A and B are shown apart, each in its own frame.
Chain A
Amino acid sequence: MLNLNSLRFPRFEFPADLAPLRAEVREFLAQELEHYSPLVRSYSWDGIDPEFSRKLGARGWVGMTLPKEYGGHGRSALERYVVVEEVLAAGAPVGYHWVADRQSGPMIARLGTEAQKQTILPAIARGEACFAIGMSEPNSGSDLASVKTRAERVADGWLVNGTKIWTTLAHRANYMIALLRTDSSSDSKHRGLSQFLIDLRAVKGISPRPIRDLTGRGHFNEVSFVDALLPPDALLGNEGEGWKQVMAELAFERSGPERYLSCFVLLTQLIDVLKGRASATALAKIGAEVAWAASLRNMSLSVAGMLNAGLDPSLQASVVKDLGCHFEQRLPGLAQELVALEPALAGSGVDYQQVLGNLIQLAPSFSLRGGTLEILRGIIARGLGVR
């Protein structure tokens, strides 16, 4: 039976006392990003700049919700939301700390041992920790529960063998949180999975091999584990509960504003290029996307508000990600329809052409990473009660 309430997005208004924070972040970004080209800004959360991440951390804007006793700032999820939407809309290079801030940090704070929290959370809050997510494998993509990389309990820890793939930033990250099989005998493939927190610099036998994506850049990797010995305390959370933990982790991925804001630079560039030469049809098409942006922001805010109120807006979050994804994937095509300038590689053409060239190529990944659109829509269908 369809529950309409799970598809409603109650209006959420930011508390007025968050306005100063927004102003501070804007001022900081205006200064820090002054010399970043539009192209670099269009890398968005693929933009890697450890120096920027460190500066953001120094302002207290990374790991904001982590407890103070672990170097965090004990601030609300809403305060973090303000910072995140501002950095994304500005196209700040948040890639270095992105995963740690969004999902790894909160997960460690929730599930980690005291030692794990003390060692890692302060580094995350300083913006100095870069995390990779070891989920997909060569033969396990959308069917994530079929992962085969094994972690075998041995006398002095866990012995890991297997291969992870599409692991973003594994070649630069300090840590990886990996989903590994700890029990192959279990009847259900969902049971027998566990998560591990791996210090990539301390453990031997882990080799990332960068895979160039279609843009020619190498941000993701195939990571092979050959008799990699993890210390006994590398287990994150409980043995055998990896699936449940991963599902909760992926919910973090779906709930933020990133799914409609990573192409925002293209929309702003397109608007500027059209200025003074837009036909009525072009205005109408741009306007329709602006209406989408307004709708998506209201929806995304609503999800943030529901989370803040302790509700479970998982269906609404999936809907926002689905719609946001289509919004972002439409923009490059629309830009080419409205403006005759050809997309260009870095170093040629004007800014608009470079941004377009970059985002045309990145767009296919938007509906793949963090779960494909097909999986996402399956989740929505389940929420509608038809699965």
Chain B
Amino acid sequence: MNEAQTILDDSLSRFFADSIDREYLTRLEEISWDDALWSRCIEQGLGLVLVSETQGGMGGSWLEAFIVARACGRYAVPLPIPEQILAGWLTETAGLAPRAGVAGILPEVIATAAVAGDRATFTAERVPWGRHAEHFIGLTTDSELVVLDRANTKAITEANLAREPRDKISFEATPILARAKVALPASGVRWLGALLRSAQIAGAATACLELSVKYTSEREQFGRALSQFQAIQQQLAELAGAMASVDTIAMAACLALDERGLASAGRDAKFEIASAKCRASEAVEPITRISHQVHGAIGFTYEYDLQFLTRRLWSWRAEFGANGEWGEYLGQVALQEGGDNLWRYLTA
């Protein structure tokens, strides 16, 4: 990270730490949306990290997007900022004008037939904060980006384990606001969503480690701090390693995406992105297990911060594909390359 990126990281930490605490997260799980914090995030340009400066954005790279998404994970920010970043990037990549308002990202590929003509009719599952979206963005099987209106939609409200909205949205002859072919695989949203969730997992894992170190250093049993016990130290070391591995590969994937894109004829960023989400999702198990174990009963209560993180980790593990799915992709790549070429491929 360069100096500007370090400053961005630090200022986000201060901003979110000042804005978000246990009471806030508890309240947001009930009301599911906070216009005030959303507006402040938008004012700071957090949703437009990847949009070029000429279009009014931050003009950042995917490394900046990583920094913002990781901070969102670390502070359990209950708003679709990573999704908004993705929407901004998709819109500009498709050559469409940036669109104000909350974007609903459609995780699954849309059948081209469902958006034939100027109206859309289909149902989208697990749309993050779908009920609050002012428009929706998705990719079709023909790699066409479509922007859909909010009119003529119905939301069936659902949520992930962290009570973040993951709604079922029915489009019923919904107006198509804009559409354009885009140089991305049809599954582009899944790849990029997986990358952003990996960064969020890295952030939440960081916070789990911070909480675990703090708690075990303060809590005394048998006349000394828990952190003085070798059994606890060994677990914290394992937790730190799991966190660091996710953080490193997620950042590497963002850099690979900046350098090689997602649809190049040669080696693009797919391998790194798949590695990031596979590693991140797999790491959720030790990270959540150890964090809860060293916290004892208090960590299992709603009154303590840890659960806001671990319930997100358990949800994000599966969103945009779990480790099994991404591992299968990587396994196919490895077998296709063959053993003799694996090292060459890893170092390319």
Where the two chains meet, the residues of A that have a C-beta atom closer than 8 Å to any C-beta of B are 2, 4, 7-11, 22, 85, 89-90, 264, 267-272, 274-275, 278, 280-288, 290-299, 302, 316, 319, 322-323, 374, 376-378, 380-381, 384-387
Contact = CB atoms under 8 A, between A and B. Distances in A.
The 7 A-B pairs at the shortest CB distance, nearest first, are namely: A283-B331, A268-B339, A287-B330, A287-B327, A287-B331, A381-B233, A284-B327
Contacts of B241: 319, 322-323, 380
Contacts of B271: 294
Contacts of B278: 287-288, 291
B251 A386 contact: no
A264 B347 CA distance: 14
A7 B234 contact: no
Contacts of B342: 267-268, 271, 290, 293
Given A323-B245, A380-B240, A291 B327 contact: yes
A275 B333 CA distance: 11
Contacts of A297: 346-347
A11 B255 contact: yes
B244 to A, nearest CB: 5
Nearest to B280: A291
Interface string B210-233: 100110110000000101101011
Nearest to A88: B343
5 contacts: A269-B339, A284-B328, A288-B279, A299-B245, A299-B248
A4 B32 CA distance: 31
Interface string B222-266: 000101101011101110110111111101100100000000000
B90 to A, nearest CB: 25
Q: Which of A11, A85, A285 has the most CB of B within 10 A?
A: A11
A176 B293 CA distance: 45
A290 B333 contact: yes
A314 B236 CA distance: 17
Contact of A9 (B206, B227, B248, B333): B248
Contacts of B330: 283, 286-288, 290-291
Interface magnitude class on chain B = 35 or more
Contacts of A264: 343
B329 interface: yes
Given A381-B234, A384-B236, A283 B335 contact: yes
B247 A288 contact: no
Given A89-B343, A381-B236, A295 B328 contact: no
Nearest to A280: B328
Contacts of A7: 209, 240, 243-244, 247
Given A272-B339, A288-B282, A298 B252 contact: yes
B339 A294 contact: no
B275 interface: yes
Contact of A291 (B216, B217, B249, B340): B249
Q: Which of A11, A270, A295, A385 has the most CB of B within 10 A?
A: A295
Contacts, number: 180
Interface string B55-94: 0000000000000000000000000000000000000000
A326 B272 CA distance: 21
A380 B210 CA distance: 14
A369 to B, nearest CB: 19
| B contact face: mostly helix, strand, loop, or mixed | helix
A268 B210 contact: no
B95 interface: no
Given A2-B213, A302-B248, A291 B279 contact: yes
Contact of A294 (B206, B272, B335): B272
B1 interface: yes
A293 to B, nearest CB: 6
Given A2-B210, A267-B342, A386-B233, A377 B279 contact: no
| A contact face: mostly helix, strand, loop, or mixed | helix
Contact of A319 (B233, B240, B323): B240
A267 B213 contact: no
B49 to A, nearest CB: 18
Contacts of A378: 230, 233-234, 237
B191 interface: no
Contact of A298 (B234, B248, B329): B248
Interface in B273-315: 274-276, 278-279, 282
A89 B236 CA distance: 31
A283 B327 contact: yes
Contacts of A9: 244, 247-248, 251
Contacts of B210: 2, 4
A86 to B, nearest CB: 8
B328 A268 contact: no
Contact of A287 (B236, B334, B343): B334
A377 B343 contact: no
A218 B214 CA distance: 47
A387 B251 CA distance: 29
A291 B325 CA distance: 12
Given A11-B251, A287-B328, A291-B274, 12 more contacts: A2-B209, A283-B332, A286-B331, A288-B282, A291-B327, A294-B271, A296-B245, A299-B245, A323-B241, A377-B234, A384-B213, A384-B237
A279 to B, nearest CB: 10
Contacts of B171: none
A293 B343 CA distance: 10
B164 to A, nearest CB: 25
B324 interface: yes
B338 interface: yes
Contacts of A278: 331, 335
Contacts of A90: 343
Contacts of B329: 287
Nearest to B283: A295
Contacts of A381: 227, 233-234, 236-237
B1 A272 contact: no
A377 B237 contact: yes
B323 A288 contact: yes
B326 interface: yes
A29 to B, nearest CB: 11
Given A283-B332, A290-B275, A297-B347, A271 B240 contact: no
A68 to B, nearest CB: 29
Nearest to B248: A9
Nearest to B341: A268
Contacts of B338: 271-272, 275
